[in-house]
Structure 1
Amino acid sequence: MEFRHLRCFTVLAEELHFGRAAQRLAMTQPPLSMAIQQLEADVGARLFDRNSRGVALTAAGQAFLPRAQALLEQAAQAAREARDVGQGLAGQLQIGFAGTVLYRGLPQVLQSFSTAHPRLRLVLRELSSSEQLVELVHDRLDLGFVHTTRVPAGFSQILVSSQPFMACLPASHPLAAAGRLTLDQLRDDAFAIVMRAVSPDYHDRILSACADAGFEPALAFELRHWLSVVSVIAQGLGVGLVPAALQQAGLPGVVFVPLQQPLAPYDTHCLWRTGRDESALGAFLQAVRMAAQPGHDGGPA
């Protein structure tokens, strides 16, 4: 059974006239008659009564018509969906992100993209940078927002944002009102820090900065999320060095103080597999580029 035969059948069922049906189908009457005969042979039943008074659906034809129409509509819908996916108008993207991106970059991207592409479904998964790299390498994510310079070969990147580290202190800390401070001034404090397994780059960077300042910090808390670091500090249980965007979290009981000698910045990169040919991915990356800080578009790693 061929879809062109179903199309011939439904048009003839609507017109009940071979001439008009053939005209609508842009064909002559003999091929139309042949198509109906072939369909009747496939179905195993006569679908039309033909006589000198005209054409009429048989009982079998009446029963077959709604099913034939449904099959044609399903085929048309499948074609529309495939075309929309191919053009980047529909489909699904699996996106990984580290938590701090919620305060810097990701909301702007999602807002602009969702407005322009309402039929593209975004599935967002909060994962550490290390976890995202594993998922990206195994193609379980289409792209990820990470905080790491350890980019695997074969991936491209966009530097979405770059922000300074700040000292995060309890509001009751003696240095809370300082305009700036040096790391050396925190040598006697307990530190809260993100676990190395979660963010090895920045865990090591903070320890290295403290070593350069002449001390080894007492790590009282090693946590999975930067927001957890700020929450612990808000309870007066330590101090920390955190990305400046966490000021936007609005947690009470903490203050953020600039450093006299800034650390290397905290960078957010968007990563995806180089050469991946997907229209939806390309459309999302365009939204990322529009939201990225000026001059932060990048190419293959």
Structure 2
Amino acid sequence: MGLVMCPLCSDDEDIEVVRTLDDGRRVVKHRCGYEWQHGEPAAPKKMPSYSFNDLRARFPKAEDVEPKWLERAARLKAQYLATKPDFDPAVAAYWAKYQKIFSPDGLRTYPPRLLKDFANSEVGARPGNQATFNSAWNAMGDAAAGETTRETIEYLLYGPADVPLEDRLQQLLDGTKPFAMTGFKEALLTRVLCVMQPDRFLSILKYTTEAGGKREIARLVYGLELPAPESVNWTLGRLILWSNDLLHTLVGEGFANQQHSAAFLWWAKDQSGGFQ
């Protein structure tokens, strides 16, 4: 096998391929036992690049759901509303309180401790364990942590108009903004959006999770496969918002509020009788 001459023996006989590397080079071995890498790395494949609007247009839509899935979802919705026609009214009062706190004036005037309380509250939507955020807050102290959290929320809600909300969210998830508060990530940022735009945002705080996020709900309730977060060109910030809007459209009317809609979707994803 005359691939190349052994650099030790100056012999090109009895050379075998041991394995092929991810970059296209091969590890080869001469009969003397010496191994080395042969060849040049293959040029990386150029992945297609899509604009924001192109990606938005390519994201799954309500009309992509097959009729059999829509019919099943409608039956589940009727079954759910027959037994749970309303939702906890205490949530609306809590949301109204934090709408004031998260207003431009409120962020600068309310005590910072209320921001920490929000991160650890389960009223209306459960953000899960916030140990990272709490540790960072305690290490920084109320004043510094409160200011950083305030800046994080302020940028998310009132950042530059030329940066879409999806991308402001991604910048905070990535921590590319120097003021991004440690631990104030997907669940808490989404929860802020739920409070401030309660007619738009479902209180489902993760895009994908083993317990069931928006991606899993779309698959189990509507038979839609949404993009993986690591897919090229998609960002988690965009997927969080676009999947929310898709599910909001699909779940439809008849619920007391978006928390009620979300509770239905959480219930519906666990019902048996899905399609293969």
- TM-score (ref. length: structure 1): 0.20
Over alpha carbons, which structure has the higher Rg? 1
Structure scoring higher RCO (CA < 8 A, sep ≥ 6) equals 1
- TM-score (ref. length: structure 2): 0.21
Q: Which has the higher strand share?
A: 1
